């Protein structure tokens, strides 16, 4: 079989609370350039547990996804998502609201889908030119939740994201030292999110988000 797989762990480290969460992820790059992320995310203080699978095309544009969410050990919802050049759709079932079907017409293929694993944030950078520093407004993106911790839904919510490619930087985390792409993302009046990703597959290395006063770091990475 002609694919490459990465497996890694991420620690969520709060400025005051210490370790406040953990994420395990597996990313597969297929021979046609499609990539699939499978992630289990735990946030200890808000008691969020999320299973998410996201597949993107060669340009890191979302194709489909699945999310199952629990909060405080209680089922919140689960949903399937699909994205094309003309439509974003989902079928979800939520503890509050029951079955929800969404069909949202789009002007172009959504450039990103935020399913809320932090490893997923790196793929937003796939829409940006990484040859020189630049700033781009990404319109028509989609999120599964508009809460910072993703603890609602899941269902489709459109989002416009102000993005910046800062440059290539050397970053040291517990998993090692990486020459990483540095992106900066801004939403409305929230603090900027600084994201560092490694290689052509944009593998997670580090995130700093002052909004949640949290640093996210890669603990280990294995490639097969």
Q: CA angle at residue 209 from 135 to 49, to 5 degrees?
A: 120
Contacts of 200 (CB under 8 A, 6+ apart): none
Q: Is the peptide bond before 70 cis (omega within 30 degrees of 0)?
A: no
How do residues 83-124 score in pLDDT, each as one tens digit? 999 999 999 999 988 999 999 999 999 999 999 999 999 999
The whole-model pTM stands at: 0.94
How do residues 11-38 score in pLDDT, each as one tens digit? 999 998 789 999 999 999 999 999 999 9
CA atoms of 128 and 182, how far apart (whole Å): 11
Could you count the other beta carbons within 10 Å of the beta carbon of residue 177? 10
Q: For residue 200, give the H/E element and its range.
A: none
Contacts of 208 (CB under 8 A, 6+ apart): 193, 194, 214, 215, 216
pLDDT tier at 187 (50, 70, 90 boundaries)? Answer: confident
Token couple for 89 = 């759709």
In degrees rounded to 5, what are phi and psi of residue 119?
-65, -25
């Amino acid at each position: 079989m002609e694919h490459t797989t990465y497996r890694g762990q991420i620690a969520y480290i709060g400025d005051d609370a210490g370790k406040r969460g953990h994420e395990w992820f597996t990313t597969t790059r297929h021979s046609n350039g499609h990539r699939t992320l499978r992630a289990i995310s735990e946030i200890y203080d808000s008691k969020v547990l999320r299973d998410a699978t996201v597949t993107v095309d060669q340009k890191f544009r979302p194709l489909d996804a699945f999310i199952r969410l629990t909060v405080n050990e209680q089922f919140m919802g689960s949903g399937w998502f699909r994205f094309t050049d003309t439509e974003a759709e989902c079928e979800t079932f939520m503890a509050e609201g029951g079955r929800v079907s969404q069909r949202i017409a789009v002007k172009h293929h959504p450039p990103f889908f935020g399913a809320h694993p932090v490893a997923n944030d790196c793929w937003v950078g796939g829409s940006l030119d990484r040859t020189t520093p630049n700033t781009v407004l990404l319109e028509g993106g989609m999120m599964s939740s508009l809460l910072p911790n993703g603890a609602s839904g899941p269902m489709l919510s459109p989002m416009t994201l102000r993005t910046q490619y800062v440059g290539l930087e050397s970053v040291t985390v517990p998993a090692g030292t990486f020459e990483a792409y540095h992106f900066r993302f801004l939403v409305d009046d929230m603090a900027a999110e600084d994201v560092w990703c490694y290689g052509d597959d944009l593998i997670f290395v580090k995130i700093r988000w002052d909004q949640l006063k949290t640093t996210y770091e890669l603990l280990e990475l294995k490639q097969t």
